[in-house]
Amino acid sequence: MAVLWLPATLLGQSVLAQTLQYEAKTDNVAIRVLSENATAVPGQSVAILLHQTIRPHWHTYWQNPGDSGQATSINWQLPDGAAASPIHWAAPHRFDIGELTNYGYADSVGLISDIKLPASWPVGTAFPVSGTANWLVCDDVCIPEKTSFSLSIPTGSSATLTQDFAPLFSAARAAQPAASPWPATVSAKGDNLVLRMAMPVSDASRITEAQWFPATWGVINHAGRQQLAVADGALTVTVARGDLPLPAMLDGVLTITENTGGGVVRTALAISSGGAAAPAAVAPQSDMALGTLLLFALLGGLILNVMPCVFPILAMKALSFVGHAGAAHRERVIGGVAYTAGVLATFVLLAGVLLALKAAGSAVGWGFQLQNPVLVTLLAYVLFVAGLNLSGVFEIGGSFMGLGSGLAARSGVSGSFFTGALAAIVATPCTAPFMASAIGIALTSSAPVAMSVFLVLGLGLALPYLLLTLFPALARALPRPGPWMGTMKQVLAFPLYASAAWLVWVLAQQAGVDSVFLALIGMVVLAFAFWLFGRRSSSARGTFWRRAGFTAALVAGIGLAASISGAPVATTAAAAANGDELSEAYDAAKLDRLRSAGKPVFINMTAAWCITCKVNERVALSGDAFRNALKAGGYSYLKGDWTNQNPEISRLLESFGRAGVPLYVVYPAQGGQPQVLPQLLTESIVVEALGASGVATASITTS
């Protein structure tokens, strides 16, 4: 399926005078939001229906969208004390499009949520219900659409229903799967999963089809053929396994099609093999104006310049800038423009790949390339070789002028361009303030908007150096060149070595200790290669063998990096809490169970390659005050590791409008809207948020 993201324009909003209904129409979906109650009672619940009439041949998505797509979601804005239930989903249908299989709805669908009013709400005062519904609608292209709605429901001492809407509510409830009266089990059998439901069947030949829809993404091969068998008092459905392991608990829907003689009947049953469905997503806050969005991107790019992952590269280039203090202004300007072009070109490349992967259904985000062990190793090599250059092991020159990471250490246009490219690449482990919301919204917007955000983000990263080159007065504030520069050049090698060592540690989290051995041997081989490169030969024969040895060693080092792709990758999702006795590994079903039980939850989404995450954990998430706040509030602490790709974590990030880590969320006790914490944490910020949302409050003093 060719996927093309286009902006949707909402048209023609019509609200009934009694404000119990909202209507909107897009190019592809007509929306109605309805209140079942004409009068609601404080302390009780009222059902709200999101009804979609879908353009012919197009479809929207179920909670598990299948191979691609995005579930419909609602971000509620409710008064304090009110709470919204997860969506009560209608039974989905299967859509096979080429080699992809999606789960969702065609023609029309009604999705119901229950809103509980606070018991303290004054009787006689209208109760406001507002929110933003987001959905993806697809045919041979996919278009994200949304609408913001608002209802005002009168309150009284007794509840009354809106009779005009009763048929739509009845139809929506009839489309929901009924609880299965028969137990179901799911077991692994070789490369397949087998769903077995013990049920009395008087005439097995009447059952013509059964379709299993697991609520958890990735457990089965969605496009796989589902084989039905009815025998020995049981119905079984066999399907190929997916990429994710079978969880201990799994919910889903089983649809059974029977030929009754009087017609074909499709029955939908809600089944559970002891499991729980994935949590309902919280829709991203994506109503930000484009100007504000671009401002956030610019500020985020500027702040990246002082992040630890980028600073060594910029310091190296600044040193080169000081060393050429006598150069003509025109030459400096060209260098600044070339550096900026390198940054922007790399951001455009990263954005293009990221958008293409997301359009194809991959669960990726900011820093996605660092989830690939081979690319992590190659980046470690680049930083290591750049450090060797600064240490004086070799100098760039001669016929090898364009090789390897030395490009970033050169002067001139090419050196400036590749320094910008390297700065952009090493910036991806960092998420600066303002960046997360900008990138998250960009990736759910149209391609032009997304590309604009990434370009402005790159401009923010390049801007300080560009300004130095454009305005001589700023450059005069820099120290004058002198002997100190030789020492400083060698000193700057050590942050690069440290960055390379950190990336090897990241590799260990991704691919195990064997990969570390291969990477370190590769570094030794590269050190030998560039030692040869830095040698001088007095004869043509010596020069030939030196160059041949350099080339062979360089190829061998890169070959060792490439071989890491075949190494067994460690499972890091369960390792997120290594060394952290406070936390448990994040699991979507576990979060759903805790929230259903009214437990407060603190979520920490991190990655081994995320420097911001590691700083926050050391500064704000490891002290006694944080421990005491968790204990006093009765919190469950779930920690998700995104070092390797993890679709469950990706979906949670997307649900909050984030494209990468870190993400910190406080889910309050007894339901209610989650609170997203800032990306740069202090202990007091965390303790205050936990104290406001926990089961109990306690006097906690930060140290």
User: Does 475 map to a domain?
Assistant: yes
User: Does 280 map to a domain?
Assistant: no
Same domain, 146 and 232: no
Same domain, 129 and 65: yes
Question: Is the distance from CB of 469 to CB of 685 less than 8 angstroms?
Answer: no
**Extended beta strands in 586-703, E state:** 601-606, 636-641, 663-667, 675-676
Report the SS3 class of residue 28.
coil
- Per-residue confidence (pLDDT) for residue 347, from 0 to 100: 83
Question: Is the distance from CB of 350 to CB of 583 less than 8 angstroms?
Answer: no
What amino acid occupies position 138?
C
What amino acid occupies position 282?
V
User: Does 702 map to a domain?
Assistant: no
Helix (H) or strand (E) holding 514: helix 513-534
User: Does 207 map to a domain?
Assistant: yes
Same domain, 447 and 320: yes
Which of 125, 146, 175 lies at the terminal end of a domain, its last residue? 175
User: Does 5 map to a domain?
Assistant: no
Same domain, 539 and 623: no
Calculate the dihedral angle through the C-alpha atoms of 316, 321, 325, 327, rounding to the nearest 10 degrees: 130
CATH of the domain at 190: 2.60.40
- Per-residue confidence (pLDDT) for residue 16, from 0 to 100: 40
Same domain, 39 and 158: yes
Name the residue range of residue 55's domain.
Answer: 11-175
240, two tokens: 């190929």
- Tabulate helix, strand, coil % of the chain (nearest 5): 40, 25, 35
Same domain, 251 and 338: no
Binned average pLDDT, 10 residues per bin, the chain of 703 residues = 37 48 92 94 94 94 89 92 92 88 94 94 94 89 89 92 90 90 85 84 75 90 89 85 79 87 83 50 44 78 69 60 62 83 85 67 53 75 78 56 40 73 69 57 66 84 82 68 66 77 77 79 85 74 77 80 56 43 83 82 85 81 89 90 78 74 86 79 88 52 32
Same domain, 460 and 498: yes
CATH of the domain at 160: 2.60.40.1250
Which of 566, 601, 634 lies at the terminal end of a domain, its last residue? 566
Same domain, 562 and 590: no
Beta bridge mates, 213: 253
Helix (H) or strand (E) holding 465: helix 447-470
Which of 143, 175, 207 lies at the terminal end of a domain, its last residue? 175
- Per-residue confidence (pLDDT) for residue 331, from 0 to 100: 77
Same domain, 521 and 387: yes
User: Does 111 map to a domain?
Assistant: yes
314, two tokens: 């910029």
Q: What angle do CA 284, 213, 190 make, to 5 degrees?
A: 120
**Extended beta strands in 328-429, E state:** none
- Per-residue confidence (pLDDT) for residue 446, from 0 to 100: 66
Question: Is the distance from CB of 700 to CB of 632 less than 8 angstroms?
Answer: yes
Question: Is the distance from CB of 429 to CB of 355 less than 8 angstroms?
Answer: no
DSSP state of 241: B
Q: SS3 for 403-446, per residue?
A: CHHHHHHCCHHHHHHHHHHHHHHHHCCCCCCCHHHHHHHHCCCC
Residue among 120, 129, 130, 123 at smallest CA distance from 155? 123
Same domain, 353 and 383: yes
- Per-residue confidence (pLDDT) for residue 13, from 0 to 100: 36
pTM (whole model) above 0.85: no
CATH of the domain at 635: 3.40.30.10
How many domains, the chain? Answer: 4
Same domain, 264 and 301: no
Q: What angle do CA 478, 310, 662 make, to 5 degrees?
A: 140
User: Does 572 map to a domain?
Assistant: no
- Per-residue confidence (pLDDT) for residue 103, from 0 to 100: 94
Q: How far apart are CA 271 and CA 185, in angstroms?
A: 9
User: Does 552 map to a domain?
Assistant: yes
Q: How far apart are CA 27 and CA 54, in angstroms?
A: 10
Phi, then psi, of 144 in degrees rounded to 5: -75, 135
Same domain, 341 and 358: yes
- Per-residue confidence (pLDDT) for residue 49, from 0 to 100: 96
Q: How far apart are CA 376 and CA 562, in angstroms?
A: 11
